[in-house]
C-alpha cells in the first residue's frame, strides 16, 4: 500500500499530503528498505536514460566522435535548458553530423525558469534544443548513424534504436521484454512500464558495473556512471536535485530524475540502488524524501544532508518571498 511520505504545512496545519512508494535494493535484488509497495509498477521515464545510451558507448561512439564526458552526461540528462546546455547540445549534434532539424523531441520551454524567462523577455521562442531531452535524442541519432539504422522516425518503438533500448532495459531490470509496458514520453520517445524494485536493481548494477560478466559492457556502464558523477551540472543544472546530490556527495551518489515523480539513485561502489515514485507526480515532493532517506540509511552524513537541504530549500513561500510553510517528511 502506498505510504504517506511528505506533508506540506502552513502555520503548522497540514495542507497537502504526498504519498508514494520507495525501495532500496542490492545487486541480487534483495530489499534493504521499503516504504509502500516495493513492486509498484510505473513508467521509468527519464531515469532510464543512462541505460538507453549504452549501445552508443559499447559501439565505440565516444572515440569515433570525440565525445567528452560532459557531452556523454548530456546524453543521459534532463537538462535545464540553460545557455551552456544549449551550446553543448549544438556542439554535440555537430560532432555526430546532425542538426536541430533532425531531432524529433519537439520544442519545449527550458526546465530552468530563469532561462525560460530570458527567452520570453527577448520575445524569442524556445526550440528543440531547449527540450530537456535534446541530449538523449542526440544520442539516439548517434546510435542510428553508427549502426547504419534509418534516421526516419528513430523515436518509434518499432525502430531498431528503441528495440535495443528495450532489450537493455529488460536485461538490467530482469523483466522480460514481453512484460514491459510501453508508453510515449513527453519528448515522443518510448518509456518502459515496470516495477520499482527492478528499476532499483538496474541502478544497483550501475553503481558497481564491474560485477557484470561482459567486460565490454561493464566498462561502458562504468564510463557512463563516471561521466554523470564527474559532470553533474550537465545531467540537470542549477538548483536541481540530481546535480546537488552528486556535487555534495562528491560523486558517491549518482542520481537521475524521471518525470511525474520518478527518481532513481545509485550508491556508487556499493551495489545499491534506490527507486521512488511520488503517487501524484509532484516532483518537488521527491527532494525531502530522497535527502532524508539517504541520511537515515547513512549514505550521506548529517552535514551533507543539511547542505543538500540548504541548497534545495524545503520552505514554502508567498509572493513576498516570506516563509509561510514547509515540506517535511513523515516517515
**What ranges do the domains of the chain cover?**
3-329
C-alpha closest to that of 256 among 95, 107, 44: 44
Give dist(CA 163, CA 129) in Å, integer.
Answer: 25
Mean pLDDT in residue range 96-106:
98
pLDDT tens readout for residues 137-187: 999 999 999 999 999 999 999 999 999 999 999 999 999 999 999 999 999
Q: Over pLDDT 90: what percentage of the chain? A: 99
| Structure confidence at residue 304 (pLDDT) | 98
pLDDT tier, 275 (very low <50, low <70, confident <90, very high otherwise): very high
Instruction: Give the rounded percent of residues in the chain with a pLDDT score beyond 70.
Output: 100
Report how far residue 76's alpha carbon sits from residue 71's, in angstroms, rounded to the nearest whole number.
9
Mean per-residue pLDDT over the chain, rounded: 97
- Pairing state between β 262-267 and 3-10: unpaired
Task: Kindly state the cell numbers that stand for 307.
Answer: 547542505
- DSSP character for 78? -
Q: What is the value of pTM for the model shown?
A: 0.96
What is the arithmetic mean of pLDDT over 25-53?
98
Q: Give the integer Cα–Cα distance in Å for 116 and 58.
A: 35
CA dist., res. 17 & res. 6, Å (int): 6
Architecture of domain 3-329 in this structure: 3-Layer(aba) Sandwich (3.40)
Cβ 126 vs Cβ 116: under 8 Å: yes
Q: How confident is the model at residue 64 (pLDDT cuts 50, 70, 90)?
A: very high
What is the pLDDT, as a whole number, of residue 297?
Answer: 97
Element of type H or E holding 247: helix 241-248
Q: Binning pLDDT at 50, 70 and 90, where does residue 51 land?
A: very high
Query: Is 229 in contact with 246 (CB distance < 8 Å)?
Result: yes
* φ/ψ of residue 38, rounded to 5: -65, -25
CA dihedral (186, 188, 189, 194) in degrees, to 10, reads: 50
Tell me the pLDDT band of 16, cut-offs 50, 70 and 90.
Answer: very high
Amino acid at each position: 500500500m502506498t505510504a504517506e511520505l511528505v506533508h506540506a504545512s502552513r502555520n503548522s496545519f497540514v495542507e497537502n499530503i504526498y504519498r508514494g512508494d520507495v525501495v532500496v535494493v542490492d545487486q541480487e535484488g534483495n530489499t534493504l528498505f521499503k516504504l509502500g509497495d516495493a513492486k509498484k509498477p510505473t513508467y521509468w521515464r527519464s531515469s532510464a536514460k543512462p541505460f538507453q545510451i549504452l549501445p552508443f558507448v559499447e559501439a565505440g561512439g565516444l572515440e569515433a566522435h570525440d565525445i567528452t564526458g560532459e557531452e556523454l552526461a548530456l546524453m543521459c540528462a534532463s537538462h535545464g535548458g540553460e545557455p551552456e546546455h544549449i551550446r553543448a547540445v549544438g556542439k554535440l549534434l555537430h560532432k555526430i553530423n546532425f542538426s536541430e532539424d533532425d531531432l524529433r523531441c519537439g520544442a519545449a520551454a527550458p526546465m530552468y525558469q530563469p532561462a525560460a524567462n530570458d527567452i520570453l523577455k527577448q520575445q524569442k521562442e524556445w526550440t528543440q534544443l531547449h527540450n530537456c531531452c535534446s541530449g538523449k535524442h542526440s544520442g539516439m541519432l548517434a546510435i542510428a548513424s553508427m549502426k547504419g539504422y534509418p534516421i526516419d522516425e528513430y523515436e518509434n518503438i518499432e525502430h531498431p534504436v528503441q528495440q535495443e533500448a528495450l532489450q537493455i532495459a529488460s536485461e538490467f531490470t530482469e523483466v522480460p521484454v514481453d512484460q514491459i509496458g510501453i508508453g510515449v514520453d513527453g519528448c515522443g520517445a518510448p518509456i518502459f512500464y515496470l516495477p520499482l524494485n527492478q528499476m532499483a536493481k538496474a541502478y544497483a548494477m550501475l553503481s558497481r558495473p564491474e560485477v557484470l560478466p561482459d567486460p565490454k559492457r561493464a566498462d561502458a556502464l562504468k564510463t557512463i556512471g563516471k561521466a554523470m558523477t564527474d559532470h553533474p551540472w550537465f545531467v540537470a543544472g542549477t538548483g536541481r536535485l540530481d546535480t546537488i546530490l552528486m556535487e555534495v556527495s562528491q560523486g558517491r551518489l549518482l542520481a537521475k530524475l524521471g518525470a511525474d515523480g520518478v527518481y532513481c539513485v545509485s550508491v556508487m561502489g556499493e551495489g545499491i540502488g534506490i527507486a521512488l515514485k511520488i503517487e501524484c507526480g509532484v516532483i518537488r515532493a521527491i527532494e525531502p524524501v530522497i535527502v532524508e532517506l539517504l541520511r537515515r540509511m547513512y549514505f550521506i552524513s548529517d552535514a551533507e544532508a543539511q547542505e543538500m537541504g540548504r541548497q534545495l530549500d524545503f520552505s514554502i513561500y508567498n509572493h513576498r518571498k516570506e516563509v509561510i510553510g514547509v515540506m517535511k517528511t513523515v516517515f
